[in-house]
Amino acid sequence: MIVSDAAANSSCLFCKIVNGQIPALVVGETERALAFRDINPQAPTHVLVVPRTHYPNAAALANADAELTADMIRLAGKIAESEGIADSGYRLMFNTGEDGGQTVFHVHLHVLGGKNLGPMVAI
Ligand code: 5GP
Ligand code: ZN
């Protein structure tokens, strides 16, 4: 799959956060990824880890750049440490496509924790 084109980037919410055009509560970063608090948290800790480069979803990201994928997961682990949830446990989630509940088509890794998250999906 192709990375997105420039037109998609210019209208992409998370590209705008990465570029500083839209503010966000940043809690961590690497050279290639940014972590910020979700605007509508679903758990006491709810952080989004995004690559600074636009990819539409997790599979496209992993196909294009395995090291960047690993960088994001390492950053998620650091966030879990700094949020104090590394020992109690947390959930990492890539929603993908319509049935997966994806609403922003710039890949983002949800880091959720701070309470028992219950079953994996609501039935
Ligand atoms: P998705 O549903 O695509 O897996 O997740 C998108 C997430 O982005 C949602 O949890 C939503 O609350 C969050 N979100 C949407 N708009 C903004 C925003 O402007 N700022 C921040 N920090 N999060 C946002
Ligand atoms: Zn983007």
DSSP 34: E
CA pair distance 101, 30, nearest whole angstrom: 27
Tell me the catalytic residues. Answer: 108
pLDDT at 5 exceeding the cut of 90: no
Cβ density class 8-41: b for 16+ within 10 Å, e for less: ebeebebbbbbeeeeebeebbebeebbbbbbeee
| pLDDT at residue 122, rounded to an integer | 80
How far apart (Å, rounded) are the C-alpha atoms in residues 60 and 66?
A: 10
Confidence of residue 9 (pLDDT cuts 50, 70, 90): confident
Domains defined for the chain, CATH in brackets: 4-113 (3.30.428.10)
**Cα dihedral: 66, 68, 72, 73 (round 10):** 30
End-to-end, the C-alpha distance of the chain in Å comes to 32
Question: Does residue 6 have a pLDDT over 60?
Answer: no
Q: Is 8 or 46 the better-scoring residue by pLDDT? A: 46
Q: Is residue 33 pLDDT above 60, yes or no?
A: yes
Instruction: Return the residue whose CA atom lies nearest to atom 12 of ligand 1.
Output: 40
CA of 102 relative to ligand 2 center, distance in Å: 13
96 lines ligand 1 (CB under 6 A): no
60-118, pLDDT tens digit by residue? 999 999 999 999 999 999 999 999 999 999 999 999 999 999 999 999 999 999 999 99
The pLDDT value recorded for residue 4 is: 44
What residues contact 10, with CB distance under 8 A and at least 6 apart?
A: none
pLDDT at 8: 53
**What's the pLDDT score for residue 81?**
98
39 lines ligand 1 (CB under 6 A): yes
**Choice between 4 and 23, residue whose per-residue pLDDT is larger:** 23
Confidence (pLDDT) at 114: 98
Q: Which ligand is nearest to the CA of 111?
A: 1
